[in-house]
Amino acid sequence: MNIQWFPGHMAKTRRLIAENLKLVDVIIELLDARIPFSSRNPEINSLVNNKPRLVAFNKSDLADEQISKHWVQWYASQGIRCILINSINGKGLNEVKSRARELMSEKIERDRAKGKLFTPVRTMVVGIPNVGKSSFINKIVGKATAVTGDRPGVTRGKQWIRINSEMELLDTPGILWPKFEDLEVGMNLAFTGAIKDDIMDISEVAMELLVRLSRAYPAELCTRFKLEPDSIISMEPLELLETVARKRGCIVSKGQIDYSRISAIVLDEFRGGKIGRITLERPGDREDTLTGTPT
C-alpha cells in the first residue's frame, strides 16, 4: 500500500520554519523512539541549515529499551548526541534544557563580555505529526500551554512559550514531507499514528503490523492476543488478523469478522504500548546520514 499524506497546512509549516529560523538559537528535533529512522523528516536538515540541533527520542517508554541503547550508540558513532525522553513523565527533559544551554555557552559568554548578563536560549521544536511535541512542551513548561491531542494535525499555528527565565520555545505544527520514497517509511508512520487513519485502509495497515510483530516480537504478540507461537509462523496476513479477531470476539452477524473493529484494536494497542515495548527499526537496517550541526 502506497501511503501519502501532505495536507496544505504542512506546506505552510515549512515556510513558517524557514521564516523564523533567524529568531532561534537551537533546534530541538523530536523523533519517535519506535521508528528513529522513519520519524526523521529529511527536509528538516535543509530547513534548519547549520543551526545547533538537539535530537531527542520521544516515547522512549514505548520503545524496546535495548534497541534504543543501540540507536544512541549508533548516533554517537556519527558524532550526534541523542537524548531519550518521555514527555508524559518528564524523563530526560532536564537534560534537554541543560544541553540546549550548553550549545549556547559561547554566545552567552560573548554577551556577558559585552555586559549583557542574561541571555535566554530561544529554541524551535520540530518533528512529524503525533510525535508528542505538544506533550513535550506542556511537560517542559510545567503546565498545559500548548494544545495536545492523540491524533496528527492538532497544532496548526506557531506560538512562543516561555519555559523559565532561561529558555523560550517556538512551537510549530508537525510536518511530514511531500512524498515518501520508501514504502516502509510510510507504513511505519501509519503504524505509529503520524498519518491520519481515515485516509488509509486500516485493515491493511493492521495486517502488515501483525506480520511485522510476528517476526520481530512473536512472544509479545502471542501473549497479548493469546496466540500459539508455532501457529503464527505459517499464517497469511489475513488469516492472522482473523485469528486475532476471533480471540477478541470481533464477530458480527453470522460469524463474520468485524475487520474495522479488530484493526482499530490492533493499532490502538500497539500505539498505547499494550502489546509491549517495541521498536520497528534497528541501526543498520538502512543507510542513514544526518547533516547539519546536531550534537
Q: Tell me the pLDDT tens digit for each residue of 56-104.
A: 999 999 999 999 999 999 988 877 789 999 999 999 999 998 888 888 8
- pLDDT attached to residue 7: 46
Q: How confident is the model at residue 294 (pLDDT cuts 50, 70, 90)?
A: very low
**How far from the centroid of its chain's Cα atoms is residue 136's Cα?**
11
Instruction: Give residue-wise pLDDT tens across range 230-268.
Output: 999 889 999 999 999 999 999 998 889 999 999 999 999
Lowest-confidence segment of 43-47, 86-90, 206-210, 249-253 by average pLDDT: 43-47
pLDDT for the residue 151: 43
Provide the 10 A C-beta neighbour count for residue 184: 17
Contact 172, 125 (CB under 8 A): yes
> 137-151 pLDDT, tens per residue?
888 887 645 444 444
Which grid cell sits at 177?
A: 514531507
Q: What pLDDT shows up at residue 295? A: 42
Binding residues for GTP, as ranges, are 58-61, 86-87, 130-135, 174
- Average pLDDT value for residue range 180-202: 84
Long-range (24+ apart) CB contacts under 8 A made by 145-149 are: 146/171
Residue 5's pLDDT is 44
Residue 290 has pLDDT above 50, yes or no: no
Indicate if the pLDDT at residue 44 is higher than 80.
no
Cβ atoms within 10 Å of 236's Cβ, excluding its own: 10
pTM: 0.83
pLDDT at 129 over 70: yes
Span(s) in the chain for CATH 3.40.50.300: 8-179
Q: Kindly calculate the radius of gyration of the chain based on its CA atoms and give it in whole angstroms.
A: 21
For the chain, the distance separating the N- and C-terminal CA atoms, rounded to the nearest angstrom, is 36
Read off the C-alpha cell for 81.
548526541
Q: Which residues are annotated as a binding site?
A: 58-61, 86-87, 130-135, 174
Per-residue pLDDT, 199 = 80
Q: For the beta carbon of residue 33, count every other beta carbon within 10 angstroms.
A: 29
- Residue 281 corresponds to which amino acid? E
Candidates 92, 13, 79; CA nearest to 48 is 13
CATH number among 1.25.40.10, 3.40.50.280, 1.10.1580.10, 3.20.20.70, domain 183-271: 1.10.1580.10
Domain with CATH 1.10.1580.10 in the chain: 183-271
CATH label, 8-179, candidates 3.40.50.2300, 3.80.30.20, 3.40.50.300, 3.30.420.40: 3.40.50.300
pLDDT at 271: 96
